[in-house]
Amino acid sequence: MASSETPDNPAPSTSPEAPTAADRGSTAAALEAARREKLAKLGELGVDPWGHRFDNVQSMAELRAEAEGMDPADQEGPTVRVAGRILLLRNAGRLVFLTLADRSGRIQVMLGKKQVGPEVWPVVGCLDLGDIVGVDGRLGYSNSGEITVFASSLTFLTKSIETPPDKYHGLVDAELRQRMRYLDLIHGDGVLERFTARIRIIEAVRRTLTDRRYLEVEGPTLHTIAGGAAARPFATHHNALDMPIVMRIALELHLKRLLVGGMERVFELGRVYRNEGISTRHNPEFTMLEAYEAYGNYETMMDLTEAIILNAAEAAGTPTQHAWMGKEIDLSAPFRRARYDDLLAEVTGCDPADPASVAAAAATREIETAGRHPDVIKSELFEATVEEKLINPTFVIDYPAGVCPLTKRKRDNPAIAERFELYVCGMELANAYTELNDPDLQEELFRTQLAGLDDDESMARMDHDFIKALRHGMPPAGGLGIGIDRLVMLLTGASSIRDVILFPIQRPQAE
RNA sequence: GGGGCCGUAGCUCAGCGGUAGAGCAAGGGACUUUUAAUCCUUUGGUCCAGGGUUCGAAUCCCUGCGGCCCCA
């Protein structure tokens, strides 16, 4: 590649090897050629266009705060140092204004021919939008009242060879924004802030748990049995062991092994993989929190869930009441708690205790009923009717046992499992159980599930090693799972999971 | 899986049967207080791909590719 190291061959477009922009007949090539000429010019000027260590940089936000306290007429502002990317460049002859951006914000820089001197001024002529520069100068206000760093020197830090997107609209095309997330982060309104909020949210989730003496662990992501949830796994193969491997679809069964191992309070924040559909709420890999607390139950986990969400909202700066998916959401705790059967009866008018009544209600909504487990029919009816009605955070509690093979049954009613799911805006955000710790019942439930349900419907994969662990004694416990991406959506107001995942899955770009 | 919408210059978009347009960006020129700077000027395209209809297709139809949305 042409670079500054060939000063005696300054402009690549004049090299016999490199076709001129016109030869290539492409605007993109012409734009690149213009930048490469400046790259070569920098070399001639003895400037390294790729830059070096640049210490003691102050953030734009810091400097803005400092300038707020200054008298705008003050000509003797402090000497400061900034570094950032050129987002805007206004050339007024022997005076050039830059809008420089770092991750904290933007600040204006003024470069004057007289002020920077004859050594540096030719370098100013090599600046393009997208270049990264460092500036030393005096902090103050321009004539029009803009906070400005009046440069006394300019340090070139990195040349950009590519043309940046439209300086005003930025990248609009959703495909390009995802394929070139780095540009989306630079130019997209609120994008960097949203992903920063995601980081704060995850920090808050972690802190909420560690403050409660939870231990954070890392379970295996390569499993031999895809257990702990109902989902199709990604399958692969381990060569040395010559055996099939699946990517994990849940964190559950290994965390429970650690409860057996006496860790008492454990959690994992990690990626899980499900080989299923892609939508505004589904990405094949997503981030899940699972937490298990010995001697607790699902009510313990409701309290924990509220604490996690409220702390996360605070960390993200999300007000208690805000709009999401076009609805007004109120995050005030305690969240509503409503029994599964009560909601189903309320919305559909059927009798949840009577399988025939449930089936009849399901049939009117074109849900397949023939030969299916009554609790599965009930579950589909619930999904089709009740979920969308749950706008404000609602703990749906006490699920039909038939769809909860890993959950402890109610002491007085074995048909009901001590499970809750948390819904907001019709979206499932969390799922929790009083954990089943009876190894014999667990094994039996795995078996009946395997016998009675399709793979897709069943959460059960017979896992003898897990049963063996339960046989050694897992303390009674509450367990919780939270979809972190969806939580971030809720707290940042994003309507698509792709807006909260830096690099969501995409088909490869056509050549 | 079913339905709808979209793909035109590096970016943002117009054109929707008569042979390619604008703004920004880029090149040249002017300007020492601009801020989406301004002014003058120049350049820039396999109209996603492949078929079809037509005297004529960016435009209409089909298929494919990529994307977005809705439903299951």
User: What CATH number is associated with residue A99?
Assistant: 2.40.50.140
Q: Could you tell me if residue A454 is inside a domain?
A: yes
- Looking at the structure, tell me whether residues A141 and A235 fall in a common domain: no
Of the three residues A132, A164, A196, the one that is the final residue of a domain is A164
Rounded distance in angstroms from the CA atom of residue A176 to the C1' atom of nucleotide B31: 37
Q: Which residue is nearest to nucleotide B39 (CA to C1')?
A: A92
Structure tokens, A430: 């969390």
CA distances in angstroms from A466 to A13, A225, A461, A474, listed in the order given: 66, 10, 10, 11
- Looking at the structure, tell me whether residues A260 and A308 fall in a common domain: yes
Strands A222-223 and A477-483: unpaired
- Positions of chain B reached by protein Cβ under 7 A: 1, 9-13, 23-27, 30-38, 43-46, 65-72
- Looking at the structure, tell me whether residues A201 and A252 fall in a common domain: yes
pLDDT of residue A459: 53
pLDDT of residue A452: 59
Q: Which residue is nearest to nucleotide B49 (CA to C1')?
A: A510
Rounded distance in angstroms from the CA atom of residue A89 to the C1' atom of nucleotide B32: 15
pLDDT of residue A216: 98
Rounded distance in angstroms from the CA atom of residue A22 to the C1' atom of nucleotide B18: 30
pLDDT of residue A460: 54
- Looking at the structure, tell me whether residues A63 and A204 fall in a common domain: no
CATH number where A314 lies: 3.30.930.10
- Looking at the structure, tell me whether residues A156 and A196 fall in a common domain: no
pLDDT of residue A449: 74
Q: Could you tell me if residue A508 is inside a domain?
A: no
DSSP for residue A320: S
Report ipTM (2 d.p.): 0.93
**Which nucleotide is nearest, taking the CA of residue A95 and each C1'?**
B32
Q: Could you tell me if residue A275 is inside a domain?
A: yes
**Which nucleotide is nearest, taking the CA of residue A98 and each C1'?**
B35
- Looking at the structure, tell me whether residues A323 and A472 fall in a common domain: yes
- Looking at the structure, tell me whether residues A490 and A410 fall in a common domain: yes
Task: Look up the pTM and report it.
Answer: 0.91
Rounded distance in angstroms from the CA atom of residue A95 to the C1' atom of nucleotide B32: 5
Three-class SS state of A95? strand
**How many structural domains are present in chain A?**
2
**Which nucleotide is nearest, taking the CA of residue A180 and each C1'?**
B11
- Looking at the structure, tell me whether residues A429 and A285 fall in a common domain: yes
- Looking at the structure, tell me whether residues A240 and A207 fall in a common domain: yes
- Looking at the structure, tell me whether residues A198 and A300 fall in a common domain: yes
Q: Could you tell me if residue A385 is inside a domain?
A: no
CA–CA separation, A181 vs A364, rounded Å? 45
- Residue A158 belongs to what domain range? 21-164
Rounded distance in angstroms from the CA atom of residue A509 to the C1' atom of nucleotide B7: 14
Q: Could you tell me if residue A485 is inside a domain?
A: yes
pLDDT, tens digit only, all 511 positions of chain A: 333 333 332 233 333 333 333 333 468 889 999 999 999 999 999 999 999 999 999 999 999 999 999 998 887 899 999 999 999 999 999 999 999 999 999 999 999 999 999 999 999 999 999 999 999 999 999 999 999 999 999 999 999 999 999 999 999 998 899 999 999 999 998 999 999 999 999 999 999 999 999 999 999 999 998 888 888 899 999 999 999 999 999 999 999 999 999 999 999 999 999 998 889 999 999 999 999 999 999 999 999 999 999 999 999 999 999 999 888 999 999 999 999 999 999 999 999 999 999 999 988 888 888 888 889 899 989 998 999 899 999 999 999 998 899 999 999 999 999 999 999 999 999 999 999 999 999 999 888 877 655 555 555 568 999 999 999 999 999 999 999 999 999 999 999 999 999 999 988 765 4
Rounded distance in angstroms from the CA atom of residue A103 to the C1' atom of nucleotide B21: 38
- Looking at the structure, tell me whether residues A87 and A143 fall in a common domain: yes
As to burial, measured by CB atoms within 10 angstroms (0-12 exposed, 13-18 middle, 19+ buried), residue A110 is buried
pLDDT of residue A2: 36
